[in-house]
Amino acid sequence: MLKKNLLSIAVVTAAMSLAACNDKEAVTEPVEPAATTDVAVEPETTTDMPAEAVAESNDAMAVDAAATQSIGEMAAGNENLTILTEALQAADLDDMMMAEGQYTVFAPTDDAFAALLTKLNVTKEQLLGDKEMLTSVLTYHVVPMVVKAADIPYGTAIDTANGQTISISDANVITDASGNTANIVGTDMMATNGVVHVIDTVLLPK
């Protein structure tokens, strides 16, 4: 009788344990794995250009961005180049200095022209009235190509639009065909049609 009771208790206990396990499985929900996000990493952009070439390219873009006026427009807007502007107009060269092209202009200041008037013992009106002489003198200040300060061929004869030559020392001193000298006092004023270097003396051809 005791054996039978023990067997009955064992059966009931096993049944209860099995029921408990079933209940636990019923209420336990599966856990979904955490979502992952793939981050795309773009490769770094590299350039095969040497550092010097990149710098030159940047300089060229800077110059292009800065050059918004022609040589004629720059001269007309500069308070120190008013007589040069009047002279270009009197010699009918102002259109050339505003047109497309590649020019280097050595631009005398108003003080340089004032010194020339004293040297020649003439008035500004007399100077501007001599178109032939003005044309000869003004074209002597023009080189028909772009020559930046860093590219000036020192000690070499440089052809001008006048047909005669000038020479420039490494001290940035110009010697003209008449033996006079002029100092370059401002460089690399970039224009859409070339470059302007400012000088303190009017150059004179022979």
Percent of the chain with pLDDT over 70: 68
The pLDDT of residue 67 is 84
Interatomic CA distance for residues 11 and 48, integer angstroms = 84
Torsion sign over Cα 131, 136, 141, 144: positive
Helix axes 82-90, 131-139, angle to 10 degrees: 120
* Contacts with 201 (C-beta within 8 Å, 6 or more apart), sequence order: 108, 112, 115, 116, 180, 181, 182, 183
CA distances to 90, 102, 154, 171 from 158, in Å: 26, 15, 9, 16
What spatial distance separates the first Cα and last Cα of the chain, rounded to whole Å? 149
- Residue 41 and residue 186: Cα distance in Å, rounded? 50
The residue with greater pLDDT, 74 or 14, is 74
Reply yes or no on whether the pLDDT at 49 is more than 90. no
Residue range 76-85, pLDDT digits in tens: 999 999 999 9
- Hey, what amino acid is at 14? A
Which tokens belong to 201?
A: 């003396």
Question: Distance (Å, rounded) from C-alpha 6 to C-alpha 23?
Answer: 26
Question: What number is the average pLDDT over the span 30-34?
Answer: 50
pTM over 0.75: no
Distance between CA atoms of residues 71 and 68, nearest Å = 10
Q: For the segment 155-191, what is each residue's pLDDT rounded down to a tens digit?
A: 999 999 999 999 999 999 999 999 999 999 999 999 9
Kindly state the average pLDDT of the residues 12-32. 46
Residue 60 has pLDDT above 70, yes or no: no
Cα 79 from Cα 179, distance rounded (Å): 29
